[in-house]
Every structure is written in C-alpha cells, then in structure tokens.
Structure 1
C-alpha cells in the first residue's frame, strides 16, 4: 500500500507498527538536541563544569564534588524537566488531536487549572504528602474534565464549544484558587503561590522517580491509544466504520491526557503552554498529516528544559520555569490568533 511517503514497518509475530521515516528522523534529531541541552544545563551553574566532566560523572568516572554536583544536585532537575516536558507535550497532542483544534491544550480548556485546584486544596487543608498531592491533582483534573465535557455536550462534543466552556471553567477555578490562597495562613499561602507559578526548584530524586514511573505508564497507554486517536481525527462516523469504539476511546484518551497533566502539576505546579506549543512545533518539524505523540514528547522535553535553563541563567535572579513558558506560549498564542484572523479575511 502506498501511504504517500516512505514508511518503516516493524513486525513481531501478530503485531505490526508503521512509522513514517520523516517522524523517525525528526525524533532522532530532536533527541540529539535534547541530549545537548541536557549536557549544557548540567555544565552551567555557580560552579562551572566542562562537558567532559559532566559525561564522566554520568558514566561513573568522577567522584567527590563533581559527582555530587552533577548527579545529586543538577541531574534531578534536568531529569524532571525532560520527563515533565515530554508528559505535557503528549497531553497537548492528545487534546489537540481529539478536538482537532490547535488551541486545545489542558491549560486553556481548564484541566490544568482543575488539577491545580485539587492539589492546592491538599496543600492548604491537609498539608499532604506527594502521593496525596498526586491524588488531589488527578481528582481535580478529572472533575474539571467531566464538568467541561457535560456542559459542552450538545448531541456530541464540538471542539470549539468545549474550548469556550473550558475557558469559562478555567476562569472560575482561577478565582477560586486566588480565594483559597488569600484565606490561608501567610506562610502556607506564600509557599502555595510560589509553587503555583510552576517551578522545578526543590525537585528531588524521590519526586522524579515516582512521577517518572507514573508518566511512563501513562505514555504507554497513550501509545496504545494512538491509533484510535488518529482515526478519530477523521470524525466519529468514519472512526466507527473502521471498528473504533468511539466513546470508550475518547474517554480513555481524555483520562490519559488529564492524568499526564495532573502528575506534572502535583510535582512542580502548573507549567503552562508547553502543551500548546509542543504538538504544533512537532507537527511542523515532522511534517505529518496529523498530530503525532513521539515528536510532541521530544519537543515538549526540549522546550521545558530550555525554558528552565533560561529561567535559571538568563535572568538576574532565578525565576520559576512557568514564567518563561507563559512568555513563550503567550507570544505563540498571539501569533496563532493573528494568522487565523488573517486567513479568514
């Protein structure tokens, strides 16, 4: 069968996987860029290191101070940026594919804000552990997703209606979050507000390993659901004609997308706009017909790592990574709205 471009087919017994060569090449290039950015982040700091020292420390050739700086102090932050960025990139790809709209991302349609609300209640009321934060963020995100879905449902769900409803729900939850912080104890409120800006400060190996394990399982589920996701882009009727169980597939994808966002929110606070940027940049790099998950994951990891590097070293004082992503994402959102308006004139 001619797919219009060169493809790579991997077969193992009854399982066959079809990969587009351009996507494979794009992922390889992006992986090299991510590795280079990671080494640069590990080199840079108040104690400067060379690339050779970083590589030696990662491979076990360094001991003492250099090993502690690279492996114990800097590597958890870099690993968190890579894992959380990939998670956000895939989450954005899922929602943009489902709704067939480049504006569809967890932050804009309210799911990130719902996860933040759930985690914020755990912080201010329970002062809970990391697992309780994950549970609160997941419950908040899922509850918001159900509310948005039900309010947007009119003989089916249209992407534009869901986005408009999600923006309204997000604004309401933002007001609720502000009220919760204002009513809290001063020290707790200051810590919650700083965490709410989206920051990788204080991320430990404990959070990276737990969050990474959860995200790995969710990414595997997203990969399993990637084929029905692409078929749903053709419309519900066409997907059903190809054997896709539309409602379970859509609900499964929404659950995975919300869970990916909630896990990141619980560990680092809401890091916005990476879910908006990564799928569209990946689509332009790979030149695929629709949204694909693997390039979006690599672009998300690269964006999060680069934004955190700028937040730590480009400003006079270190900033939360969420501030940098808001600046980048806000500029992209303005450009996207401008180009869409010109296209309709």
Structure 2
C-alpha cells in the first residue's frame, strides 16, 4: 500500500470518540475520491459509522477533524451517495456500520486492509462496486466474501499479501481474481403451481469459494469450466489472464487448465488487453510466448480500429522483436 500523503486526506471529517478508537460519521470535500486518515488526534480510526456515506446520516458526530491544508470554510459540502467514487479506508478500521455506503451508486473502487473483518448488513446496498484492493498483513483472512456477497455485478479483487521472513526485506505476493456477475430470477412452473429459482452466471459459484473468511484458491481455480460454459469469452479471458499473471496459490493442474484455455482463445485475450489498454498484460503475453503471428495481427488490427495509439506502438515493436522480417538475399 502506498503511503497516504497528508495533503491527500479528506479536508473535513466529522467523528466520534469511542473506547475502541475513532468512528468516522461523515466527510466533507470538493470531490468524491476520499482518502481517510489512519489516525485522528493520535487515536486510530477503527470504525465507519452506519449510514456514514449515505445521503442522510444517523449522526454527524460531535467532533470535527480538519486535515493539513484544509479549512472549515473551504471543505465544501458533505460527500455522500452518488458523489462518492472511491474510498481509501483507514488501515486499522475493524468495522463498517450497516448501510454505510447506502446508494453510493458511483462508488467504483474500495481500498482497505485485512484489519476489516466485520461489515454491517446492507453496507453496499445500491452500490455497483467494480474493484476492491485489499492489503494483507496478518494472514489471509479478510472481509472479501462479505463484499462480493452484496454485489451481484462483476467485481475485481486485487489482493496484496505483505510477507516478512527472517533475513529478508518485506515483499509482496499478488493475486488478481474476478468474481463474474450473477443473478437469480423466480420463474413460474404453471403445471406444478410453484415458483422455481433460476440462477444465471457463474458468479454465484465463485462467491462460495471461501472458508473461514479466506479465499480458497484451489476451489476458485476448479470453477473454470463454469466460466467457460456460462460467461462471455471476454469474461473468461479476463479471469484466466488475472490468474496466470499473478499465480498466487495456483497449483500446476490449475495453471495447465488456464494455459490451455488461453492458447485456444488468444484473440479474445488480446482483444481484452487492447480495449483496457493494459500494456503490462500485453507484455506478459509476449514474454511468455503466447503472442503468435495471427494473435499479433489480430491485436494490431483491433488497436488500429479502436485508435489505441500507445498499444498500437507497443504491438508493432513486439511484432518486430518476436517475428522479424527476413532480409532478402540476392545472388550475384
């Protein structure tokens, strides 16, 4: 996790003091990308209050924190509901109250640590969260399952495991996992006079890959067949690329299944990388030998069509490096 700069902290925060630490009840500022302090008055921030970022808070709190460079007069209005787009939570937060992000429909990204294990009911009701970034310092337990259970849309998780070993500097192992969209619908079975529940999408199965608040990577990787059967080629390509690029806890049989899928669907993989302008992802494919001539040509065509100039330049360089044209020889 990169270091929070004081000038980046939300300019004005309402809070309460509790026996466990500081509880944030509301934030004021000019924009919806909120970075919350780890401490206030030297006391760790440990809780986000119920309805803290909803349109109508339960309680604004009796104390006010003003960050460095901020002021009471210039902090702007309360940032809540549809105004919230990204939140970087305090590193020692252990609990989020119920409906804390109620109807924050533009909240796309959430950054937190494994200190947070408890999330109140309905915390993400009305949200369409797209990306979660979690930093692990104490093991592999987190609140990830609670988050993905509340979001039926596709959600991407970037997981950073901070490791310490004797005689070695701290290092980070990374995982990148996708939980596809899923939903249920009730369908009437008229002859039997009953309602049947039908499930759509592979996301529901992936959301069951947890045990004791830890992501079960083996179980996750065994579900590739569900993605292939029920999701689009683009979704499958994204999921496969994420696991191969960051193979945390990836067993050999799982790796072989992902590689087999990637080799059979190179065009979908490069199309996804071109559309998302993922330069590092394309370099990964090139470095691992997955970019065949036909895959490169397809990527070049798609990059030109999509007017992705930087990606186009990278692909032209890779084609020249990987598949250089042979110089013509002339006999005299």
Larger radius of gyration: 2
> Taking structure 1 as the reference length, what is the TM-score of the superposition?
0.22
Q: Structure with the greater relative contact order (CA < 8 A, sep ≥ 6): 1 or 2?
A: 1
Structure whose residues are more often strand by fraction: 2
> Taking structure 2 as the reference length, what is the TM-score of the superposition?
0.23
Structure whose residues are more often helix by fraction: 1
